[in-house]
Amino acid sequence: MEGGLNTALELLVLGMAVVFLVLLFLMFIMQIMSGIVNLRPAAKTKPAVEEIIEEELAVIMAILNEVNPGHEVSNIQLKLIQ
């Protein structure tokens, strides 16, 4: 019975070591892929400095009411196109 327990513990430790090494290998692969993708810096965007006037806000709300009728509260993100 003692031999079975030793074998089980050995398999447990060996399995944990193999999983750790595989995860370490995948981490390095992801770092290499991230380095390849991020070779050139992303373009910096400027925030919109103009204030939205009330007429523009009314138009946006009217369009949103057509798209999503009956919902007074919605989590919607707007992207300003210039």
Contact between residue 80 and residue 48 where contact means Cβ atoms under 8 Å apart:
yes
Q: Per-residue confidence at 50, pLDDT binned at 50, 70, 90?
A: low
Residue reference for tokens 């993708």: 37
Angle at 50 between CA 67 and CA 48, to 5 degrees: 75
Share of the chain above pLDDT 70, in %: 73
Angle at 45 between CA 39 and CA 63, to 5 degrees: 125
Q: Per-residue confidence at 6, pLDDT binned at 50, 70, 90?
A: very high
Q: Per-residue confidence at 48, pLDDT binned at 50, 70, 90?
A: low
Count of CA atoms in the C-beta half-sphere (13 A) of 47: 3
